[in-house]
Amino acid sequence: MNPSCHQASAWTGIVYCHVGLHQEAIEKGAVAVASNPDDPMTIWSLGHSKQLAGEFEEAKEYFARTLRLEPTHVWGNIFFPGVHLYSGRLDRAEEKIRIATQLVPKDPLVAGWEALLWAKRGETRKAEQAARRTLSHQRVLTYSHHAYHAVAAAFAVIGNPARALSVLKKAAGTGLPNYPLFRDDPHFATLRNHPEFLRLLAGLKREWEFYKREFGYPNPVEPLCATLRNAESGPESGTGKSSGTRLEKFLSYLGETGSNPITSCWPSGSWPIRPLRCVFSLLIHLDVESAQLILSRGSCGSTADGPTTSLFPSLYRNHASWFRVICRALSAVLGLRPALRFLSGPGVLVL
């Protein structure tokens, strides 16, 4: 993705926050806002990611900033009531609902917020009336799933679990398969032990875990990369022994037990040599320097730092040799990145 294309970052963040990758969404939104700090839609997108992540105070600030730049921004107005509802500021939520209704009459999301407002105030009949307005809306909008989520929360609060679960499934099935959002929503407290709710969460969790594996952070090899990079600036740096220090750090890291993100990101037994697995991940993430460091110390013999022992048993020496070839090829390609970026121009994918 071209880092200068802020719209790509903003919309990627919006997609991420809908599937429950909240931290990733916030990071994408922050990149977009940093590159285009005066665009209301970009600012709103980061506020929306904050809202779904439960960071309501920060979401409120981004929504307010959106409306300072563009007071009639539709999404800034219709999403704002939810921040106050989830923060317990019902009077402020009512005010924002009134403003949004004036701007967009009969909007299903605003009606959903109204249903939740009345539910939290104990006004069951009014909550049901507002919920019916949302559910009877003929058009399915790009944000209808958020309206269904708000209505499901309202039904859960007024003690109607069957309707709450029915509408919540509709929210998940129309663009909001957000496991952490539903799991942590305080309005679903009465559903926590409901078998149907637990089945819904179990299915959404499987989907969420797939998205985390495919797109999520943190990068499983980033702790190793950081260890290898930071070692150069340690007390050994400048003494000619930086590579030895980095190797020691690496070996120490591999020796850790428990939740080691490097050794836990492959199925057990699938590739038993830890250094090669790390090299593979480092190459995927284009950290050629760290991969080369490991491979350079992977054979018997001696170096300027003294004798070394092989990191790779003889069975895997050919694998290490192939990785060295790949490292050299990647180094050559990455060395051309500035030229490729210049030739590719803006708005296209770059390395």
Query: Helical H runs in 185-335?
Result: 195-215, 222-231, 242-254, 274-284, 288-296, 317-335
Residues of the chain by 3-state class (helix, strand, coil), percent to 5? 70, 0, 30
- Which amino acid appears at position 14 of this protein? I
pLDDT of residue 279: 54
pLDDT at residue 265 in the model: 39
When pLDDT is cut at 50, 70 and 90, the band that residue 348 belongs to is very low
pLDDT computed for residue 231 by the predictor: 46
Domain boundaries, the chain: 6-215, 227-344
Q: Taking residues 28-49, what's their average pLDDT?
A: 91
What is the pLDDT at residue 296? 58
Residue 152 has pLDDT above 70, yes or no: yes
Best-predicted range by mean pLDDT (132-146, 147-161, 291-305): 147-161
Could you please state the CATH topology (level 3) that the domain comprising 6-215 is classified under.
1.25.40
**Among 27-31, 145-149, 327-331, which range has the highest average pLDDT?**
145-149
Residue 60, both tokens: 């409120």
Residue 277 has pLDDT above 70, yes or no: no
**DSSP calls for 2-46:** -TT-HHHHHHHHHHHHHTT-HHHHHHHHHHHHHH-TT-HHHHHHH
Give the span between the Cα atoms of 337 and 210, in whole angstroms.
31
pLDDT value at residue 239 = 42
Is the pLDDT at 318 greater than 60? The verdict is: no
Average pLDDT, the chain: 75
Amino acid at 103: L
Mean pLDDT of 66-82: 96
pLDDT at 263 over 50: no
Query: In terms of pLDDT, which residue wins out, 211 or 167?
Result: 167
Q: Determine the pLDDT at residue 211.
A: 87
pLDDT of 142 strictly over 70: yes
Q: What average pLDDT does range 149-167 have in this prediction?
A: 97
CA 152 to chain CA centroid, nearest Å = 24
**Average confidence (pLDDT) over 296-307:** 42
DSSP state letters, 104-118:
STT-HHHHHHHHHHH
Q: What's the pLDDT score for residue 173?
A: 92
Q: Which residue has the higher pLDDT, 234 or 146?
A: 146
CA distance 147 to 153: 10
d(CA 204, CA 28): 23
Predicted local confidence at residue 325, as pLDDT: 62
pLDDT of 264 reads 42
Residue 32: pLDDT over 60: yes
Q: Calculate mean pLDDT across residues 205-219.
A: 79
pTM (predicted TM-score): 0.64
Q: Which two tokens stand for residue 263?
A: 């050794």
When comparing pLDDT for 213 and 330, which is higher? Answer: 213
Count of CA atoms in the C-beta half-sphere (13 A) of 180: 17
Average pLDDT over residues 74-101: 97
Percentage above 90 pLDDT, the chain = 50
137: left (phi over 0), alpha (psi -120 to 50) or beta: beta
Q: What is the DSSP letter of 127?
A: H
- What is the model's pLDDT at position 70? 96
Q: Are 85 and 120 in contact (CB under 8 A)?
A: yes
Q: What is the arithmetic mean of pLDDT over 245-250?
A: 47
Rounded CA gap, 296 and 206, in Å?
40
pLDDT over 50 (residue 327): yes
Q: Name the residue among 227, 180, 165 with its Cα closest to residue 22.
A: 180
Instruction: Tell me whether the omega of the peptide bond preceding residue 313 falls within 30 degrees of 0, making it cis.
Output: no
